[in-house]
Amino acid sequence: MKLEQQIPRNALIWIVLAQFSLLLPHLGRVPMWLVLVYVAAAGTRVLVYQGRWSFPSRGVKVVCAATCLGGIWLSYDSLIGLEPTVALLLVAFSLKLLELAQKKDAYLLLFLAYFVCVTEFLFSQELQVTLYLLAVVTVITAALVALQQPEKLEFSLLPLRRAGVMLLQAFPLMLILFLVFPRIDPLWSVPLQRQAAKSGVSNFMSPGDISNLSLSGDVAFRVQFDDFVPARSQLYWRGLVFSKLEDSTWRALTWSEVPANERRPLVVQNLVGQRFDYSVLLEATQQNWLYSLRYARPSDLGVMSTNDFRLQSPIELEDQKEYRVSSWTDIPIELELSDWRREVETQLPLSGNSRTRELAQQMYSEAGEDSRSFVRATMAMFTEQDFHYTLRPPRLGGNSMDEFLFESRRGFCEHYAAVFVYMMRAAGVPARVVAGYQGGELSPINGTLIVHQFDAHAWAEVWLPGEGWVRADPTAAIAPERIERGLQYSMGDDEGFLSGSPLSPLRYRNVAWVNLLRLRLDAMNYSWQRLVMEFDSAKQYNLLSGLIGEISPARIATLVGVIWMLVLGPVLYTLLRRPARAKLDPATLSYLDFCDRMAAQGCVREPRETPADYARRAIEQRPEWGEQVMAITGAYETLSYLPPLQDQEAQLQKLRNLVRGFRPRKQ
Residues with catalytic annotation? 413, 457, 473
DSSP state of 454: G
How far apart (Å, rounded) are the C-alpha atoms in residues 266 and 285?
A: 26
How far apart (Å, rounded) are the C-alpha atoms in residues 433 and 424?
A: 11
E-state strands within 79-211: 204-205
DSSP state of 24: G
C-alpha distances in Å from residue 317, one per residue of 252, 289, 314, 453? 18, 9, 9, 17
For 428-457, give one letter per residue: b (16+ CB within 10 A) or e.
ebbbbbbbbbbbbbbbeeeebbbbbbbbbb
Q: What is the CA radius of gyration of the chain?
A: 37
C-alpha distances in Å from residue 626, one per residue of 218, 341, 574? 83, 111, 37
Best CA proximity match to 495, nearest among 430, 412, 427 = 412
Q: Could you tell me where the DSSP H helices lie in 437-497? A: 474-478, 480-484
Phi, psi (rounded to 5 degrees) for 594: -60, -40
Best CA proximity match to 636, nearest among 603, 602, 604, 595 = 595
Contact indicator for 317, 307 with CB cutoff of 8 Å = no
What is the number of H-type helices and E-type strands within the chain? 22, 17
How far apart (Å, rounded) are the C-alpha atoms in residues 651 and 639?
A: 7
Residues across the chain? 667
Sheet with 456-464, strands from edge to edge, namely 236-242, 431-438, 456-464, 468-472
How far apart (Å, rounded) are the C-alpha atoms in residues 373 and 367?
A: 6
How far apart (Å, rounded) are the C-alpha atoms in residues 412 and 438?
A: 14
Measured from the Cβ of residue 221, the count of other Cβ atoms closer than 10 Å reads 24
Secondary structure (DSSP) of 387-439: -EE-SSPPP--SSHHHHIIIII-EE-HHHHHHHHHHHHHHTT--EEEEEEEE-
Sheet with 244-246, strands from edge to edge, namely 204-205, 249-251, 244-246
Please report, in angstroms and rounded to a whole number, the separation of the first and last CA atoms in the chain.
61
Q: Can you say how many angstroms the Cα of residue 660 is from the centroid of all Cα atoms in its chain? A: 64
Q: How many Cα atoms occupy the beta-carbon half-sphere of 129 within 13 Å?
A: 17
388-389 and 410-411 strand pairing = parallel
